[in-house]
A and B are shown apart, each in its own frame.
Chain A
Amino acid sequence: QKEVEQDPGPLSVPEGAIVSLNCTYSNSAFQYFMWYRQYSRKGPELLMYTYSSGNKEDGRFTAQVDKSSKYISLFIRDSQPSDSATYLCAMSAYSSASKIIFGSGTRLSIRP
């Protein structure tokens, strides 16, 4: 069993919809949680990060962490075609980047 599980999609939604992306994990020691966005033929870029449990909001993006369920989510409100990308969840038990475990990514397509 992988430490981090992520539905690969693809997920296709109409413009303006609310998107929910999710990851589950098995290691209860994880306390740093991240979402990366990766456009086609580009490297990932950090979108959101959360320490421990709770919610974090940044513009149209909201990250949620439920440590009791070992489940994290990324919500995108008022989705735009420019949000079409692969979204990778990532997490770690330590602050060092060398310990980050990445999910396999969910491909998201926003239809105009």
Chain B
Amino acid sequence: NAGVTQTPKFQVLKTGQSMTLQCAQDMNHNSMYWYRQDPGMGLRLIYYSASEGTTDKGEVPNGYNVSRLNKREFSLRLESAAPSQTSVYFCASSEATPVSEKLFFGSGTQLSVL
């Protein structure tokens, strides 16, 4: 099973350039998430989508936009990249359990903005 697939794995941008990070899951999960991971900061939620057709801001949404294209796909767009957006980006999806929701992560995209 592929699980959560992210593309690309690595990207280098110049300040002001735009790009879209792609994410797809094959587990039929309703909810999908975008996180960024920075040294000493832990994982921080950028945006999430609780179901197809809905998106909501997380802790650090500024400078990003998202699109829930269908149930499988959730993309993250940087319209005008800044050096502060240099980070590792993770997409995740979640399934409900009897106690709470369980997150499944992709392998990440390492983004450098010069």
The number of inter-chain residue pairs (CB within 8 angstroms) is 66
- Chain B, interface size: which category? 20 to 34
Inter-chain contacts of B104 with A (CB < 8 A): 45
- Asked if B101 and A43 make an inter-chain contact with CB atoms under 8 angstroms apart, the answer reads no
Inter-chain contacts of B33 with A (CB < 8 A): 97-98
Q: Nearest residue in A to B49 (C-beta to C-beta)?
A: A98
Task: Give complex CA distance A103, B44 in Å.
Answer: 10
Q: Nearest residue in B to A52 (C-beta to C-beta)?
A: B99
- Chain A, interface size: which category? 20 to 34
Tell me, yes or no, whether B50 is within 8 Å of chain A by CB: yes
Closest chain-B Cβ to A33's Cβ sits at a distance in Å of: 10
- Asked if B99 and A102 make an inter-chain contact with CB atoms under 8 angstroms apart, the answer reads no
Q: Nearest residue in A to B95 (C-beta to C-beta)?
A: A97
The B contact surface, by secondary structure, is strand
Q: At the interface with chain B, which of A11-19, A62-70, A77-85, A88-96?
A: A88-96
Tell me, yes or no, whether B74 is within 8 Å of chain A by CB: no
- Asked if A95 and B106 make an inter-chain contact with CB atoms under 8 angstroms apart, the answer reads no
Interface centre among B4, B33, B43, B94 (most CB of A within 10 A): B43
Tell me, yes or no, whether A110 is within 8 Å of chain B by CB: no
Q: Which of B48, B106, B107 contacts A98 (CB 8 A)?
A: B48
Task: Give complex CA distance A5, B33 in Å.
Answer: 23
Question: What residues make up the interface of A, taking CB atoms closer than 8 Å to B?
Answer: 4, 6, 8, 32, 41-46, 49, 51, 88, 90, 92, 95-98, 100-105
